[in-house]
Structure 1
């Protein structure tokens, strides 16, 4: 594996340039855990975040998910409070999941209707702010526009902080390899 370039940060500590960066979980660990002043706390956050990612993969029985990792964790701020994670699931992975898995995942897609407050519990117990979206790519599907709108909202959320300072975020997949611009094809389960 090639050594990833050192990240560049803005005056506010955010990854530059703003917007998506291609990376791997290994790249993120190298620069945002091991390459920091306070790696112990960041290491704990990273391990918890990896656990959340792998739990979703086990729930879906696939590693074919796209992951966005952003927020203050992807900065040079010494002790971020949590990690921000958005998991994009293909419609086939969602539809092929068992009933329990679909119900669990739906809680993240519709948090206002989740009486168990699953996302809040993960944030409190695992310091990981989790969002889940269906990654519909078929523009003939009636839900395509809704999915694209939700993705645009997440892009805005990951691209700007609450004070409207621009920031970068990483796109990778659950296997930890660098996500490229081509779609992955899922193998039959």
Structure 2
């Protein structure tokens, strides 16, 4: 379903999903998965020095149509479109929680490169840091290490890997808590 980023999108897309699933259920598929994404194509409009919440509209779409017996899939912390040209983004973390992503951003700190360490410290002391802490996922272990001042600050690929790892663990945990029993990793 590509991009779902508002209540209006949900209202527009839900009947399309229901129609597509109705069609697909006429055939002997082993499973039917509805995938969508809700991450903005750019987070440059979000504030720096304070976490910003972005709703996980893709999850809300699945919650609205899960009565159809379908699988869940998403585009994790990325926009479903193709990546644009390479550039050096400011340090940021896109951290999944039950209903939102928490977006942490800091300007580049060319003098001493502490921005990512500061972001990680802020995240691990937040209310949305998992109770399992660094043991929740490989990515959470990496974030906690940076919060402790260990390891290098990483780069955009590292930050994406850390938060994608957390996202996968978050989705599996969340689906498990909701009573969903088919926990194949479709994220």
Same fold (TM over 0.5): no
Of structures 1 and 2, the one scoring higher in RCO (CA 8 A, sep 6+) is 1
Higher-Rg structure is 2
| Structure with greater strand percent | 1
**Alignment TM-score, normalising by the size of structure 1:** 0.29
**Alignment TM-score, normalising by the size of structure 2:** 0.30
